[in-house]
């Protein structure tokens, strides 16, 4: 079993953050669209629309700061409980974003991928996701990951089911199952764990986001609502991360007197 006192590494790679203070992978829980709109007497849909603009600003800021992986929590597996019209509007925004922004992202060298269950997704969205991933699959400037129809617990359950199927087929021996095997079956199997997770909107919880992967992530909670998030807020979070001491369950090395 993989040690619980050390961060997961992408196999064959160095652990992120060991040689510099820029997080290699940033995850963001984009919270506050509805409250932003309601506080201004606007429909919630306008908050979601402004949230897309914040996504664009954040991608640009991530590239500027040298972040290599950016995961955005855009639609939770629990969000299906929202009003149907709001869900349909969120789907329409995803369609619009892919159709309008994909060429620009591709031109900037951004690789786009989507994690989460693809069950229940409309067929046209499923196809758009596949097209986006295929078009940008070779890009290396920034890996932009959308967690869409995603939940951390659901991801782990789906990984366990895949492992069980491998055991049943004889591809994996039960005694060979360890942390590395589980990681390889997660949606993020080829993505390093997030060094930093930012949550906007003033709430102080992970809300089922990257539960396994966030074991040693630095967490920053901001009162700013997502539509107001910009390069300055992103840069401030990166600068705060740079002041953190990451020990992974160990002790900070001290200089001898």
- Write the pLDDT tens digit of every residue in 227-239: 999 999 999 999 9
* Contacting residues for 234 by C-beta, under 8 A, at least 6 apart: 57, 58, 61, 62, 65, 198
Residue 120: other Cβ atoms inside 10 A: 9
* Residues 3 and 174: beta-carbon distance below 8 Å: no
Biggest alpha carbon–alpha carbon distance for the chain = 65
- d(CA 108, CA 105) in angstroms, rounded, equals 5
Q: Which of 209, 203, 164 is nearest to 182 (CA)?
A: 164
Residue written as tokens 């789907």?
Answer: 91
Residue with tokens 């506050």: 32
pLDDT bin (cut points 50, 70, 90) of residue 214 is very high
Q: Going from the N-terminus, what domains does the chain have, and what CATH number goes with each?
A: 25-242 (3.40.1180.10)
Give Cβ neighbours of residue 118 (< 8 Å, ≥ 6 apart). Answer: 126, 129, 149
The mean pLDDT of 78-98, rounded to a whole number, is 87
Helix, strand, coil tally for the chain in percent (to 5) = 45, 15, 40
Dist. CA 143–CA 145, nearest whole Å: 6
pTM: 0.88
Q: Which residue of the set 31, 187, 193, 195 is catalytic?
A: 31
- Tell me what pLDDT residue 80 has: 85
pLDDT in tens, 166-187: 999 999 999 999 999 999 999 9
Return the closest-CA partner of residue 95 out of 32, 48, 34.
Answer: 48
Residue 79 catalytic? yes
pLDDT value of residue 138: 96
Q: How many helices (H) and strands (E) does the chain have?
A: 7, 6
């Amino acid at each position: 079993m993989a040690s619980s006192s050390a961060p997961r590494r992408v196999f064959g790679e160095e652990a992120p953050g060991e040689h510099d203070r820029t997080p290699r992978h940033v995850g963001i829980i984009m919270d506050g669209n509805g409250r932003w709109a309601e506080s201004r007497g606007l429909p919630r849909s306008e908050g979601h629309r402004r949230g897309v603009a914040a996504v664009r600003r954040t991608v640009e800021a991530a590239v500027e700061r040298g972040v290599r992986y950016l995961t955005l929590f855009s639609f939770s597996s629990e969000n299906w409980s929202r009003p149907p019209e709001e869900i349909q509007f969120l789907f329409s925004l995803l369609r619009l974003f892919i159709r309008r922004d994909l060429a620009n992202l591709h031109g900037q060298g951004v690789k786009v991928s989507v994690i989460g269950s693809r069950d229940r997704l409309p067929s046209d969205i499923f196809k758009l996701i596949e097209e986006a991933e295929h078009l940008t699959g070779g890009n290396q400037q920034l890996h932009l990951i959308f967690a869409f129809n995603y939940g951390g617990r659901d991801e782990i359950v789906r990984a366990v089911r895949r492992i069980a199927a491998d055991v049943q087929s004889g591809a994996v021996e039960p005694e060979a199952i360890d942390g590395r095997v589980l990681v390889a079956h997660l949606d993020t199997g080829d993505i390093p764990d997030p060094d930093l997770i930012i949550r906007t909107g003033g709430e102080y919880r992970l809300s089922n986001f990257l539960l396994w992967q966030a074991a040693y992530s630095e967490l920053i909670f901001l009162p700013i609502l997502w539509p107001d998030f910009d390069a300055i807020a992103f840069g401030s979070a990166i600068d705060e991360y740079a002041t953190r001491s990451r020990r992974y369950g160990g002790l900070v090395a001290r200089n001898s007197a």
